[in-house]
A = this chain, B = another copy of it.
């Protein structure tokens, strides 16, 4: 989500939301406050620090050190945004201001990595979804196609997926109606990565 700068520097270029750190807040409170001016922050399903960007010349004029965050919203949310603000596909960004394109690339890389070895998928998915919808989400976020069969098995084995019992309405071209799933409650915050080199005799999975 970018907004188009009206004034110099970098007028007309697109910019990440953000702003100065207030005296009574930490950086996460600050970014949530900045975002609240753009969207309904209650729709944020996940927020995490990305990195500090501090090159002396990253912005013209006085030195500005930025703490970049990754904020995710479920794919079904279409928040109302101000007129200068729109969503852009991360693969086709417009001309961006300052180092914001590099920040976006880092964020995209972080997302792709964490999708694979954590339960972060919950943050991208709507409350209920079909496996093929989830497959599309993962494929888009990872940048390559994944198998629906395998995706379902891997997430299920990790104890993340749960069938709702309902089925989705069928599409215009027919086909078997898809079962609806949700991420299990209690796994809606990011947890430990799924590690290799486990402790010996760890028969603790799936719970």
Contact = CB atoms under 8 A, between A and B. Distances in A.
Contact of A116 (B138, B151, B197): B197
Contacts of A55: 26
Interface residues of A, number: 36
A162 interface: no
Among A56, A193, A196, A197, chain B packs the most CB atoms within 10 A around the CB of: A197
Interface string A125-163: 000000000000010001011110011001000000000
Does more than half of chain A's interface fall in helix, strand or loop, or is it mixed? loop
Among A49, A116, A150, chain B packs the most CB atoms within 10 A around the CB of: A116
Interface of A: 21, 23-27, 49, 51-52, 54-56, 63, 65, 67, 113, 115-117, 138, 142, 144-147, 150-151, 154, 192-197, 199-200
B25 A142 contact: no
Contact of A52 (B52, B117, B199): B52
Contact of A154 (B142, B145, B196): B196
